[in-house]
């Protein structure tokens, strides 16, 4: 049982760490940003930097430019896929896990078309694709693969149902940049990168417009530019930019972007992005939805099509307006995917039932049994 009085004391003792006033750091970073965007040689200087300690993006348009996002009035279809899971329970002898893929199709201003919801559970047992027992990490990797595959299948069906004349977009929650693979062993990284790239390639071949949306992003790629500017491109002089280390990109964007406008498109240059072919490489831009600064990530083939970028931006703004600050399609796909407590209990209850039918007892640790039924 949580001792709330002790908790209050602990939180009070950490208040100075939890609630840091970063106003002066943000102001300092904003002044630096306002200066560097007017430096015509800044991109050239960035290109000369070798092995910076943080991902430094590239761009082709004017760095300080913003783009007004038009209100969307044309019909469109937005569809989204999300995933949730039950991880393998180490207190259960069976190496068994569940990934639930939820999806939604929402047509707007299209007569005779209706909203569609789907939920697809997939159970895994035994060894994973790399021939090792399932773990939290391998389930997370597999969930990303299933989300991409489900999005591809849904995109093909929508293209057939709605035809080429209707603008449609597949939205994912999270990042196109597969950060989670950076720390994985070579076998795992190679397997899943190969699978992800194959699915991204198929999305490209089918010309399925796809974007990834990150709410309240904590990224610092534009802050990398500010740090380089503050240290005059000598990143070893940490004392010159340490004051802005706690500042994130969105803090700068609030002073830079008006509601319903976006930045130019940037190319991500993290280590993992080197594994992507150029036309699938991750690009990103920030957008002021009116409620928050969001980050939208897109593959290269979309990033180089200004009309598609504008269409995606206007769709996201419309989705956020309809969703009171967060895209409707992402929220609904999450609701279809989420595995709640009663679902988890049903999963293990039915496993137990199958074991009884097969006259095999489902072995569970005494610790897990004790948690389920405390006794004095």
Q: Where are the domains of the chain?
A: 66-80+138-337, 341-372
* Interhelix angle 136-162/186-205, nearest 10 degrees: 10
pLDDT reading at 359 higher than 70: no
pLDDT reading at 372 higher than 90: no
pLDDT reading at 169 higher than 90: yes
**pLDDT of 110-147, one tens digit each?**
988 999 999 999 998 877 777 778 888 889 999 999 99
β-pairing, 282-288 with 266-267? antiparallel
Give the helix, strand, coil percentages of the chain, each rounded to 5. Answer: 45, 20, 35
So what's the pLDDT on residue 126?
Answer: 76
Please compute the mean of the pLDDT values over residues 54-61 and round it to a whole number: 95
Please compute the mean of the pLDDT values over residues 279-307 and round it to a whole number: 97
d(CA 90, CA 162): 46
Residues 277, 279, 282, 283, CA torsion sign: positive
So what's the pLDDT on residue 366?
Answer: 45
Stated pTM of the model? 0.91
Task: Give the rounded distance of the alpha carbon of 155 from its chain centre.
Answer: 19
pLDDT, mean over the chain: 91
pLDDT band at 363 (very low <50, low <70, confident <90, very high): low
So what's the pLDDT on residue 374?
Answer: 47
pLDDT reading at 375 higher than 60: no
β-pairing, 96-108 with 76-86? antiparallel
Residues 15, 19, 23, 26, CA torsion sign: positive
d(CA 286, CA 264): 8
So what's the pLDDT on residue 151?
Answer: 97
How large a percentage of the chain has pLDDT more than 70?
Answer: 94
The residue behind tokens 């908790």 is: 7
So what's the pLDDT on residue 376?
Answer: 53
d(CA 122, CA 149): 13
Please compute the mean of the pLDDT values over residues 59-82 and round it to a whole number: 95
**pLDDT of 227-267, one tens digit each?**
999 999 999 999 999 999 999 999 999 999 999 999 999 99
pLDDT band at 153 (very low <50, low <70, confident <90, very high): very high
286 beta partners: 295
d(CA 204, CA 196): 12
The residue behind tokens 């980050």 is: 295
Q: What are the φ/ψ torsions at residue 196 (nearest 5 degrees)?
A: -60, -45
Q: What are the φ/ψ torsions at residue 85 (nearest 5 degrees)?
A: -155, 160
């Amino acid at each position: 049982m949580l001792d709330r009085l002790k908790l209050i004391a602990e939180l009070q003792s950490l208040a100075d760490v939890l609630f840091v006033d970063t106003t002066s750091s943000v102001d300092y970073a904003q002044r630096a940003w306002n200066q560097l965007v007017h430096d015509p040689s800044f991109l050239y200087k960035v290109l000369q930097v070798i092995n910076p300690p943080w991902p430094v993006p590239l761009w082709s348009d004017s760095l300080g430019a913003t783009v007004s996002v038009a209100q969307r009035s044309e019909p469109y279809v937005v569809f989204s896929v999300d995933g949730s899971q039950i991880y393998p329970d180490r207190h259960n002898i069976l190496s068994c896990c569940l990934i639930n893929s939820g999806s939604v199709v929402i047509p707007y201003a299209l007569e005779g078309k209706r909203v569609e919801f789907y939920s697809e559970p997939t159970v895994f047992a035994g060894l994973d694709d790399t021939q090792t027992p399932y773990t939290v990490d391998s389930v997370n990797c597999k969930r990303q693969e299933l989300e991409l595959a489900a999005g591809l299948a849904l995109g093909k069906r929508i293209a057939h149902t709605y035809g080429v004349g209707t603008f449609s977009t597949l939205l994912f929650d999270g990042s196109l940049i597969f950060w989670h693979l950076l720390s994985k062993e070579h076998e795992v990284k190679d397997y899943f990168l190969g699978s992800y790239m194959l699915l991204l390639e198929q999305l490209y071949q089918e010309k399925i417009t796809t974007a990834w949306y990150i709410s309240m992003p904590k990224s610092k790629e534009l802050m990398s530019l500010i740090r380089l500017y503050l240290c005059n491109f000598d990143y070893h002089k940490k004392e010159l930019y340490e004051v802005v280390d706690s500042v994130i990109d969105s803090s700068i964007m609030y002073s830079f972007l008006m509601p319903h406008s976006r930045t130019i498109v940037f190319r991500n240059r993290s280590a993992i992005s080197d594994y992507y072919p150029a036309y699938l490489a991750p690009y990103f831009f920030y957008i002021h939805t009116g409620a928050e600064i969001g980050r939208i990530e897109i593959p290269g083939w979309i990033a180089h099509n200004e009309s598609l970028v504008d269409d995606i931006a206007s769709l996201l703004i419309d989705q956020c307006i309809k969703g009171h600050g967060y895209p409707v399609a992402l929220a609904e796909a999450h609701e279809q995917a989420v595995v709640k407590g009663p679902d988890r209990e049903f999963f293990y209850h039915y496993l137990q039932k199958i074991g009884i039918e097969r006259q095999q007892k489902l072995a569970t640790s005494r610790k897990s049994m004790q948690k389920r039924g405390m006794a004095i």
